[in-house]
């Protein structure tokens, strides 16, 4: 069957081409329309002429397989694909605006602005990973933003889908990716670890806050392999006013061994959205690169040689959830507090990679003026933070796994639900109070949270018999 001539007015499976909006090295992009589809369309067509890179064609096949399986606000909607017998293409939603690449001339960005951008990209990555996909090409030109603010990831030609054949890995032996952003393990052929995307996002954050890339521009395999043993220059060496919390995050993302990085993109986004709660380690204080002896040891005792086991994206995410426990520190009930603590201990013991957020809601008055101090002259907010820390002390958690939060809101249930949604919480644990006439009329906070949460919810009641605890588990299955 004859190929379609790509020009203005040409019709491909009902899509009418308008104009070419981008002419790249691997594909061309056309603005298009389709009768009955009230949305701007972008048609991506691969280059398959004599001499074109065969890897680009295989990458386009991967994109054709992956794009129709993706959904949600963080990816372009896919409207159709065409096979190679007539005209290969991917028809997708046309996102208005430019990619992050257009902002490179503004670098370095203010620290807070760059952190806010990368936080949104991390949330988009978390959503992508929960759809079984590792992007493998996170860089400024692969990120756009909707008018509503959500980050959108584009270009899935180098991606790995856990439920599809990995054609790039099966047909080629060289690593594929954009050299400055490629994770060390990718150089060794590892393509099934979602923490590779976290490394790339760390490169982007380093670049946007310092104006230089942590591993330079080297594109030869020899130059790229140095990141298997050589750490980057600490940002504070380049910019003395670099915030310690931001360097802690950046250098953790750029750890050579994936196990030392953030376990999930959701946990990275959590730290970026709560800079005052980031637990500082020796990373935050570094002013020089690792010593020659440390580098020499890594050079001949590489930390990545043990990466031979096949990874499972869903299992990886399940092993590092964000748990949230909501506590009412103003109405103490030793029995309920202990019941909640026992339930939390059980989860943390079963899932060593879990992170815990202890939350209390300071209820605001809708009519009266709220007072910062209580009747004894103590700051309410600080007192509750102290009470949360006291409650969590027996858990003996590493600081990187624990944070405390006091939310101020008119509606406690709404505040809990919003915190859980914006911080990608996987499991909410909440105590149930005794019945009262007011609660029978208005409903309880726990019942509203259980009814409306999009994650697992455990409602805990104090035991009626010593040593026995009652739990009501409400399961809203997350997309993993």
CATH number listed for the domain at residues 321-474: 3.40.50.620
**CA separation for the pair 325, 430 (Å, rounded):** 6
Give the model's pLDDT for residue 236. 97
Neighbours of 458 (CB within 10 A): 22
CA dist., res. 476 & res. 474, Å (int): 7
Cα 331 from Cα 327, distance rounded (Å): 9
Q: How many residues does the chain have?
A: 480
Quick one: which of 274, 280, 293 has its CA closest to 425?
A: 274
CA distance 197 to 182: 9
What's the CA dihedral at 60, 64, 66, 70 to 10 degrees?
Answer: 130
| 480 residues of the chain, pLDDT tens digit each | 456 778 889 999 999 999 999 887 778 999 999 999 999 999 999 887 655 567 788 889 999 999 999 999 999 999 999 988 778 999 999 999 999 999 999 999 999 999 999 999 999 999 999 999 999 999 999 999 999 999 999 999 999 999 999 888 887 767 888 999 999 999 988 999 999 999 999 999 999 999 999 998 777 888 888 999 999 999 999 999 999 999 999 999 999 999 999 999 999 999 999 999 999 999 999 999 999 999 898 888 877 654 445 567 888 888 899 999 998 877 767 888 888 999 999 999 899 889 999 999 988 876 555 566 666 667 888 888 899 999 999 999 888 899 999 998 889 999 999 999 999 999 999 987 665 544 444 458 888 998 999 999 999 887 654 444 455 555 454 444
What are the residue ranges of helices labelled H in 274-356? Answer: 282-285, 292-300, 313-318, 334-350
Domain 100-311 CATH class label: mainly alpha
Q: Is 140 left (phi over 0), alpha (psi -120 to 50) or beta?
A: alpha
How many C-beta atoms surround the C-beta of residue 437 within 10 A?
Answer: 7
pTM reported for the whole predicted model: 0.89
CA dist 425 → 61, 93, 126, 429 (Å): 34, 29, 11, 11
DSSP state of 467: T
Sequence ranges of the domains in the chain:
11-93, 100-311, 321-474
- What gap in Å lies between CA 7 and CA 461, rounded to an integer? 67
Distance (Å, whole) CA 159 – CA 352: 29
CA 11 to chain centre: 38
pLDDT of residue 475: 46
Taking a C-beta distance cutoff of 8 angstroms, is the pair 90, 196 a contact?
no
Q: By three-state DSSP, how is residue 101 classified? A: helix
What token pair was written down for 94?
């046309």
What integer pLDDT is reported at residue 1 of this predicted model? 45
Identify whether 108 is preceded by a cis peptide bond (ω within 30 of 0): yes
Which residues make beta-bridge pairs with 112? Answer: none
Give the distance, in angstroms, between the CA of residue 44 and the centroid of all CA atoms in the same chain.
Answer: 27
Give me the residue label for tokens 């644990």. Answer: 429
Contact between 200 and 139 (Cβ < 8 Å): yes
Question: Domain 11-93, CATH 3.40.640.10 — does that match?
Answer: no
Question: Which of 350, 230, 251 has its CA nearest to residue 294?
Answer: 230
Q: What is the rounded distance in angstroms from the CA atom of residue 207 to the CA atom of residue 109?
A: 9
């Amino acid at each position: 069957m004859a190929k379609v001539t790509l020009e203005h007015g040409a019709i491909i499976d009902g899509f009418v081409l308008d104009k070419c909006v981008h002419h790249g090295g691997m594909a061309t992009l056309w603005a298009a329309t389709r009768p009955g589809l009230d949305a701007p369309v972008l048609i991506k067509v691969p280059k398959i002429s004599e001499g074109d890179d065969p890897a680009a064609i295989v990458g386009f096949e991967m994109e054709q397989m992956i794009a129709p399986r993706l959904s949600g606000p963080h990816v372009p909607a896919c409207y159709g694909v065409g096979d190679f017998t007539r005209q290969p293409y991917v028809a997708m939603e046309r996102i208005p605006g430019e990619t992050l690449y257009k902002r490179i001339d503004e670098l370095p960005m203010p620290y807070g602005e760059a952190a806010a951008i990368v936080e949104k990209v991390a949330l988009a990555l978390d959503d992508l990973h929960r759809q079984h996909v590792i992007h493998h090409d996170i860089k400024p030109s692969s990120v756009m933003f909707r008018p509503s603010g959500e980050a959108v990831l584009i270009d899935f030609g180098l991606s790995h889908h856990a439920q599809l054949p990995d054609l790039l890995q099966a047909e080629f032996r060289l690593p594929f990716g954009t050299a400055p952003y490629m994770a060390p393990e990718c150089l060794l052929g590892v393509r099934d670890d979602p923490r590779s995307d976290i490394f790339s996002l760390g490169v982007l954050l380093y670049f946007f806050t310092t104006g230089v890339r942590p591993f330079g521009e080297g594109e030869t395999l020899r130059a790229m392999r140095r990141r298997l043993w050589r750490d980057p220059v600490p940002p504070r060496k380049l910019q003395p006013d670099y915030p310690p919390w931001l360097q802690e995050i950046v250098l953790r993302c750029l750890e050579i061994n994936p196990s030392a990085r953030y376990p999930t993109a959701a946990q990275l986004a959590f730290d970026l959205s709560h800079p005052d709660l980031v637990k500082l380690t020796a990373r935050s204080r570094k002013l020089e690169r690792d010593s020659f002896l440390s580098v020499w040891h890594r050079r001949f005792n590489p930390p990545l040689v043990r990466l031979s086991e096949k990874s499972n994206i869903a299992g990886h995410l399940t092993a590092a959830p964000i748990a949230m426990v909501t506590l009412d520190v103003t109405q103490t009930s030793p029995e309920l507090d202990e019941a909640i603590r026992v339930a939390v201990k059980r989860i943390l013991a079963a899932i060593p990679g879990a992170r815990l957020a202890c939350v209390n809601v300071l209820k605001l008055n809708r009519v009266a003026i709220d007072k910062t101090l209580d009747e004894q002259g103590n700051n309410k907010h600080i007192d509750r933070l102290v009470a949360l820390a006291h409650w969590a002390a027996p858990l003996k958690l590493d600081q990187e796994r624990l944070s405390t939060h006091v939310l101020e809101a008119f509606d406690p249930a709404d505040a809990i639900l919003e915190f859980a949604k914006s911080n990608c919480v996987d499991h909410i644990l909440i105590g149930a109070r005794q019945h009262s006439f007011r609660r029978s009329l208005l409903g309880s906070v726990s019942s509203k949270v259980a009814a409306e949460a999009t994650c697992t919810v455990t409602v805990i009641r104090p035991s009626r018999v010593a040593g026995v605890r009652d739990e009501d588990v409400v399961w809203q299955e997350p997309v993993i």
